[in-house]
Amino acid sequence: MGAMIGAAGAQVGARRPGRPRNRGPSAEYTARLAEIVEVAAKVFRERGYDAGSLDDVASELNLRKASLYYYVRSKAELLYLIFDKTITSALDSIEKCLSIQDPRERLAALIRHQVVMVASEPSFFTVFFDQRPRLARNYDSEILAKEKQYLRVYQEAVATAVDNGVLAPMRARYGAQAILGMTSWIYKWFDPDRDDPQAFADACVDMIMAG
């Protein structure tokens, strides 16, 4: 059993008494890494991935650049971690829309979800959308697979909406990309002093499902 490696002296099949020893990275390490990823997203949003330096990221954390390498293998991995956090939490949070049965209500919920999510995490989504081609090849397929999974949720909701007369007939791919474009685009123009994500989400819903 892989899990027994390093458990020298333990009886075979016997459970170690008391709380199991923590495996993997410590809670402090995990928290610090999350902080680094957060700051990196902010820096890469403001200066771009290539122009935003690891010195920029480190100094905003009161660290030296070399210290980042205790947490991260490379700058490319740091970008990957931003992408992974973004798409993973997007996939997680979209789950709640899938329990909605009514085709119209489900599509409306998906639209509102995308608008509110993107507007609430501008750094992560700006990097995710604008720096997508900068992601290193070795990380690409994993992120791409999750993006496709995400897109499929919208495609299926569109197809169902078309079948039920909620939307005009159209290719599910086009309908899904139209909706994702309309909603995600908010990261380029949203001004918190002026705009309200909920109101914009309502406008999107009204626009494509008037009545």
For the window 71-110, what string marks contact with a copy of itself as x by the rule CB under 8 A?
Answer: ----------------------------------------
Quote the radius of gyration of the chain (alpha carbons, Å): 22
Residue (49 or 83) nearer to a copy of itself, CB: 49
Distance set, CA 203 to CA 108, 182, 196, 198, 209 (Å)? 11, 11, 11, 9, 10
By a kind-dependent CB cut-off of 5 to 8 A, residue 65 interacts, out of a copy of itself, DNA, none, with: DNA
DSSP labels, 93-123? HHGGGGG--SHHHHHHHHHHHHHHHHHH-HH
User: Which string of x and - marks every residue 56-95 that binds DNA (by CB under 7 A)?
Assistant: --x---xxxxxx-xxx--xxx-------------------
Q: Alpha carbon of 44 to those of 100, 106, 160, 174, 176: distances in Å? A: 36, 34, 38, 30, 28
For a copy of itself (CB under 8 A), the number of binding residues is 40
DSSP 14: P
Q: How far is the CB of 134 from DNA (least distance, A)?
A: 12
Residues contributing to the site for a copy of itself (CB under 8 A): 46, 48-51, 129-130, 132-134, 167-171, 173-175, 177-186, 188-189, 195, 199-200, 202-204, 206-208, 210
